[in-house]
Chain A
Amino acid sequence: GQQVMQIPQYQHVQEGEDFTTYCNSSTTLSNIQWYKQRPGGHPVFLIQLVKSGEVKKQKRLTFQFGEAKKNSSLHITATQTTDVGTYFCAGPDNNAGNMLTFGGGTRLMVKP
């Protein structure tokens, strides 16, 4: 079945440093979605990318969808303590309606 993998699993950064998490799918995706889960909270939708090679920005966050639509990345510039949490990518299961397959997540810790 479809697999979505994310690296790294954990990342410690000093506040102000940049951070990147990478997502790879075993199959071509119609779109890729990113979610953030704060400690003790639930996943919250950040963004959806649809087009091959698409790049979207949300303030200090830059999201990119690969040309082959099988990989994606999330880059945070100048991290802040409010960026702490786990970032998940997710891709629709091609055979199951709106079911999403989630990556393992990257847990970001920011030292002040």
Chain B
Amino acid sequence: GAVVSQHPSWVICKSGTSVKIECRSLDFQATTMFWYRQFPKQSLMLMATSNEGSKATYEQGVEKDKFLINHASLTLSTLTVTSAHPEDSSFYICSASRNPMGNTEAFFGQGTRLTVV
């Protein structure tokens, strides 16, 4: 199956600093990628849809200035958590599908566990 790689797998940062998370589709081009946040023992909460070459679409309640998304190429989307605070600590996961308009399976990155101290 297709591979989506996410980096880093885990990161610990100080309050006030920014953290960048990368999501790469390794063997296919992804015009659209999705960023999720998952709290312990809870479901995936969609944060935003990352669109190659255009602005990301954010879900209601997600601060676009706080969670900066850049999708500069067909294989890479980045999520930057700016001025991180302890409440931003969470598991962040990206996903992508081979077919941009069809209804096909989603391939998930390994996830990034962010801890803000």
* Residues of the B chain whose Cβ atoms lie less than 8 Å from the Cβ of A43: 44, 93, 95, 106, 108
Spell out B's residues near A (CB within 8 Å): 1, 32, 34, 41-44, 46, 49, 93, 95, 97, 99-111
Describe B's contact surface by its main secondary structure: loop
Q: How many residues of A contact B (CB 8 A)?
A: 24
List, sorted by A's number, 13 A–B pairs whose CB atoms are closer than 8 Å: A33-B106, A43-B44, A43-B106, A45-B107, A48-B103, A92-B103, A98-B99, A98-B100, A98-B104, A101-B46, A102-B43, A104-B42, A105-B42
Docked CA distance A31–B110 (Å): 25
- Establish whether residues A42 and B34, one from each chain, have CB atoms under 8 Å apart when the complex forms: no
- Establish whether residues B97 and A98, one from each chain, have CB atoms under 8 Å apart when the complex forms: yes
Q: Is A78 an interface residue (CB 8 A)?
A: no
